Amino acid sequence: MQKLKGFRDFFPEEMAERTHVFDAMRRVAKRYGFVEYDGPPLESLELYRKKSGDEIVAQLYTFKDKGGRDVALRPEMTPTLARMVATRANSLQKPIRWFSIPQLFRYERNQRGRLREHFQLNVDIIGAREVEADAELLAIGLDVQRELGLTKEDVVARVNDRRIVSGALGLLEVSEESIAATYTAIDKFRKVPDETFTELLSDAGVSDDAIEEIRKLCAGSVSVFEWFAPRLDDVDEPTRKAVADLETYLARMTEAGFEDFVEVDFSIVRGLAYYTGIVFELYDRKGKERAICGGGRYDDLVQSLGGPDLSALGFGMGDVVLSLMLRDRGLMPKAPPRSDVVVIPVGAELAVIARLITTELRRAGKRAETPYSPAGVGKDLKATGQRGIPYAVIVGPEEWAAHEVNLKDLRTGKQSRVAIDALAAEIKT
RNA sequence: GUGGGCGUAGCUCAAUGGUAGAGCACCGGGUUGUGGUCCCGGGGGUUGUGGGUUCGAGCCCCAUCGCCCACCCCA
């Protein structure tokens, strides 16, 4: 028997890594006052038909349950969140600031950084139109990186605004029919050769002059602020607001101490789906990995799913790419946490004493164990040391007669006699 | 869905078409009051699977499954 393609076993070593990452995610999200929620891993297929594109639905894990209902393993958390929020929209105090670490599934051929199953930190804010919310959202994403030991040398946040792209394309007179293909081309700017980029836009029906302007914006040879400055009188109100919002956004990121992580990047448009405002993606500065994290504002989604008109924004941060990066940087724990101490009896008649001492140590909050069948001090000590356990308590008849034991620090090799009552306090963890 | 690379012990890898091996790991012993280095021994494999060629296949051929990489797409 082998595991299914694209699924993972978590042996204790991998589980230690997973726990390490999840713990960091939870600590950070809670630090910003967000609360954790979860939903069912299995949902009605209908939930995804409504919101997600054909491509997503084609890659769902679906089946008919025994009642004949079409069901799907959740491929993303947002529809579940939207459904949950819609259910209690009127009674939930706004803004709603929730996070979750769901396991998500997709039926698709796997490749580097992409499996059929993964965990994804989802952080969402619902009912906040202020750009301060956008800034806080990105700050959480970046703070998770920092919490795990990654720095501005490792991670870059590329940020953009869908309204700005839309406004720019309007000024460049890109036609309605060309918009979708133009977004796709912009999204590919950093992944395809220059000629291909030109070809994609040209095929979409974009003029040569417009292609040149789009290229300059994507490449960053002109900042979006410089580009829009002489044109602000020609654009509509939403675009003017978007440019102003982006400036405020950057100011807020600077206030929060993240300015070195953030770069405006016109080529970040986040697929075609449902984003309506500021969007961002987190990348490894060195590697060629896919995005660590992506998100942004999706103000129309809750309503489009039949809920009330609530603005919303959020991101998803998968565990697979992030873990690849942490392993690459040596920032993952090498071994699962073990006991603090093993209590080793000298001779079989002291095994009962060793068990009693072990019980007392556990009551004192120490992670303690004693061998089921003591094999001799030498063997038990060897096994304990090999497992990386820092302390051994050796219970010998002479010492025990004085209500004392030997406490050995396996890391230094130093050993001392300790009164039984003082033992727990001597084991530093 | 398309293309490419790779499948030998738990892991890393050997083995002209001629008896399947090593290191690490694991288990036991040397050593029933003191570990990590050391010495000795042991379990482990239908060489991913199924066919074919051959006197003989881990090796050659075909198929299939799995893993990896890229493409497509991206929540």
What is the distance between the alpha carbons of residues A51 and A72, in angstroms, rounded to a whole number? 14
In chain A, DSSP finds a helix count (H) and a strand count (E) of 17, 17
Q: Residues A173-189: what's their mean pLDDT? A: 88
Chain B bases near protein Cβ (<7 Å) = 1-2, 26, 28-29, 31-36, 66-75
Q: How far apart are CA A157 and CA A179, in angstroms?
A: 25
Tell me, yes or no, whether A248 and A324 share the same domain: yes
Upstream peptide bond of A95 is cis (omega within 30 degrees of 0): yes
Q: Please state, rounded to an integer, the average pLDDT across all residues of chain A.
A: 90
- Inside any domain, residue A4: no
Which of A328, A354, A383 marks a domain boundary? A328
Q: Which nucleotide is nearest to A381 (CA to C1')?
A: B35
Residue A355 lies in a domain: yes
Are A319 and A202 contained in the same domain?
A: yes
Distance A125 CA to B18 C1' (A): 71
For residue A30, how many other CB atoms are within 10 A of its CB? 12
| Range of weakest confidence among A205-219, A295-309, A341-355, A397-411 | A295-309
Both A216 and A262 in one domain: the answer is: yes
Q: Are residues A33 and A118 in the same domain?
A: yes
* Residue A321 belongs to some domain of the structure: yes
Q: What phi, psi does A40 have (nearest 5°)?
A: -75, 140
Residue A93: pLDDT band with limits 50, 70, 90: very high
Whether residue A59 is predicted with pLDDT greater than 70 in this model: the reply is yes
Are A358 and A307 part of one and the same domain? no
- Which nucleotide comes closest to A77 if you measure CA to C1'? B75
Residue A415 lies in a domain: yes
Q: Evaluate whether residue A333 is within a structural domain.
A: no
**Beta-carbon-side half-sphere exposure of residue A310 (alpha carbons within 13 Å):** 26
- Regarding whether A220 and A99 lie in a shared domain, the answer is yes
Q: Are residues A211 and A314 in the same domain?
A: yes
The domain boundary residue, chosen from A328, A349, A374: A328
Q: What is the ipTM of this complex?
A: 0.81
How many Å apart are A4 CA and B18 C1'?
A: 39
Identify whether A356 is part of a domain: yes
For nucleotide B32, give the residue with the nearest CA to its C1': A376
Domain range for A40 is 12-328
The total of structural domains in chain A comes to: 2
CA of A380: nucleotide with nearest C1': B35
Here the CATH number for the domain that contains residue A374 is: 3.40.50.800
User: pLDDT tens across A111-166, in order?
Assistant: 777 788 899 999 999 999 999 999 999 999 999 999 999 999 999 999 999 999 99
Task: Quote the CA–CA distance of A342 and A188 in Å, as a whole number.
Answer: 57
Phi-psi region of A330 (alpha: psi -120 to 50; beta: other; left: phi over 0): left
Question: Of A328, A359, A391, which one is at a domain's C-terminal end?
Answer: A328
* A390 CA vs B44 C1’ separation (Å): 32
Instruction: Tell me: do A322 and A398 sit in the same domain.
Output: no
Residue A6, both tokens: 């694209």
Among A184, A206, A191, CA closest to A273 = A184
pLDDT at residue A342 is higher than 70 = yes
Calculated CA dihedral for residues A95, A268, A230, A236, nearest 10 degrees: -50
Count of residues for chain A? 429
pLDDT given at position A157: 95
Pairing between β-strand A96-100 and β-strand A35-36 as defined by DSSP bridges? parallel
Residue A164 phi/psi, 5-degree rounding, is -70, -45
Residue A197 CA to B50 C1' — how many Å? 47
Distance CA A314, CA A133 (A): 10
Burial class (CB in 10 A: 0-12, 13-18, 19+), A1: exposed
Q: How far is the CA of A59 from the C1' of B67 (A)?
A: 21
- The pLDDT, as a whole number, for residue A368 is 94
